[in-house]
């Protein structure tokens, strides 16, 4: 099945744009390290101006429609997890039926991306739950196969119900978001409390949050943070929204930051050999997850 539920030629196009915007991995630590303003200025490029029209339109739709109400209705629609029962492999195969329109001959499939991410994490000697997070982190993209629009599956995520950070890409498109007219959503804290933690913050809807709910009872918190916040670029790359976080969030975001380079920079054109890798991943999945998961 090809994904034509939006302006992007495929979900990949959003990720290519991310790589354009963040060509280098972030410094590993400490969290929220000050960015050297001189360096930043020298490297400044207008990514919004240079973005492809399809990417621009994708963000316009995302920012226009991701309202507090919209997210609540999607949470109600999907987080009952009553649609399917699938093993991780079945979900991987299901996700892999999603084919980008961009260039099916040379582009890697979703499964290739997940295996490459996991393999690089494994190669670097990280814990087993970290490898598993790499393998499954994008499985929430099956939302596309339920007919969900691209802008409601991928895209940088951000809190809804409070003021939008100035650092969110294409910030200007929020001017058409109906939440602009809700005064209670337009203050710095909005409907939230200072420092109470991201657990009580509603994020814009997409594949991160959906998968988090599918696996939340089974993985260590570090892996769950990676899964839940890997698209939260305004926080993990730009240091925004720290006032909504508590100490646990701050500690755990080191893991979200550790995960990001694997997600963004491990793509290569060598297709992983699934047959060879399968026994290792069978054991890994079994170690943490039940035979079937509710989706």
Q: From the CB of 110, what's the least distance to Fe ion, in Å?
A: 9
Q: From the CB of 10, what's the least distance to Fe ion, in Å?
A: 13
Q: Which residue's CB is nearer to Fe ion, number 55 or number 162? A: 55
Would you list the DSSP string of the chain? -B--SSSSSSTHHHHHHHHHH--SPPP-SSTTPPP-HHHHHHT---HHHHS-HHHHHHHHHHHHH--HHHHHHHHHHHTT--S-EE-HHHHHHHHTT-B-SS-TTTSPPHHHHHHHHHHHHHHTT--HHHHHHHHHTTGGGGGGGGT--GGGTSS---BSSSPPPTTSTTGGGGGGSGGGG-GGGSSSSTTS-TTS-GGGSPBPPSHHHHHHHHHTTTS-HHHHHHHHHTT-HHHHTT-TTGGG--HHHHHHHHHHHHHHHHHHH---SS---HHHHHHHHHHHHHHHS-SSEE-
Q: From the CB of 207, what's the least distance to Fe ion, in Å?
A: 6
Binding of Fe ion at residue 138 (CB under 5 A)? Answer: yes
**Residues binding Fe ion: what is the number (CB under 5 A)?**
2
Binding of Fe ion at residue 238 (CB under 5 A)? Answer: no
Dist. CA 135–CA 279, nearest whole Å: 14
Q: Which residue's CB is nearer to Fe ion, number 249 or number 263? A: 263
Q: From the CB of 263, what's the least distance to Fe ion, in Å?
A: 4
Both tokens of 217, joined, read 């009872």
Q: From the CB of 195, what's the least distance to Fe ion, in Å?
A: 27
Binding of Fe ion at residue 263 (CB under 5 A)? Answer: yes
Q: Annotate each residue in 176-205 with x if it binds Fe ion (CB under 5 A) or - if it does not, as one string.
A: ------------------------------
Task: Name the residue among 25, 20, 23 with its Cα closest to residue 55.
Answer: 20
Q: From the CB of 116, what's the least distance to Fe ion, in Å?
A: 10
Stretch that binds Fe ion, among 44-52, 138-146, 175-183, 235-243 (CB under 5 A): 138-146
Q: From the CB of 134, what's the least distance to Fe ion, in Å?
A: 9
Q: Which residue's CB is nearer to Fe ion, number 66 or number 190? A: 66
Q: Which residue's CB is nearer to Fe ion, number 3 or number 138? A: 138
Binding of Fe ion at residue 13 (CB under 5 A)? Answer: no
Stretch that binds Fe ion, among 101-109, 131-139, 163-171, 184-192 (CB under 5 A): 131-139
Binding of Fe ion at residue 100 (CB under 5 A)? Answer: no
Q: Which residue's CB is nearer to Fe ion, number 138 or number 249? A: 138
Binding of Fe ion at residue 249 (CB under 5 A)? Answer: no
273 φ, ψ (degrees, to nearest 5): -90, 100
* Interface contacts to Fe ion, rule CB under 5 A: 138, 263
């Amino acid at each position: 099945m090809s994904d034509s539920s939006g302006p992007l030629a495929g979900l990949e196009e959003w990720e290519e744009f991310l790589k354009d915007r963040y060509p280098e991995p972030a410094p590993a630590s400490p969290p929220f390290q000050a960015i050297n303003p001189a360096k930043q200025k020298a490297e400044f490029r207008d990514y919004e101006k240079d973005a492809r029209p399809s990417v621009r339109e994708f963000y316009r739709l995302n920012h226009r429609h991701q309202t507090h109400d919209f997210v609540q209705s999607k949470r109600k629609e999907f987080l009952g997890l009553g649609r399917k029962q699938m093993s991780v492999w079945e979900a991987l195969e299901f996700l892999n039926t999603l084919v980008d329109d961009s260039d099916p001959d040379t582009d890697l499939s979703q499964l290739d991306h997940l295996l490459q991410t996991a393999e690089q994490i494994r190669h670097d000697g990280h814990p087993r739950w970290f490898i598993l997070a790499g393998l499954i982190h994008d499985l929430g993209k099956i939302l596309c196969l339920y007919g969900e629009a691209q802008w409601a599956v991928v895209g940088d995520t951000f809190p809804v119900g409070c003021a939008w950070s100035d650092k969110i890409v294409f910030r200007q498109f929020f001017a058409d978001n109906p939440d602009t007219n809700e005064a209670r959503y337009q203050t710095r804290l909005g409907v939230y409390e200072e420092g109470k933690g991201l657990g009580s913050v509603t994020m814009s809807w997409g594949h991160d949050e959906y998968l988090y709910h599918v696996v939340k009872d089974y993985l260590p918190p570090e892996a769950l943070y990676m899964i839940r916040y890997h698209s939260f670029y305004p926080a993990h790359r730009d240091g925004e929204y720290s006032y909504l976080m508590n100490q646990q969030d701050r500690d755990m975001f080191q893991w979200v930051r550790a995960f990001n380079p694997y997600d963004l920079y491990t793509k290569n054109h060598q297709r992983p050999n699934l047959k060879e890798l399968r026994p290792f991943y069978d054991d890994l999945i079994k170690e943490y997850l039940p035979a079937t998961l509710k989706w």
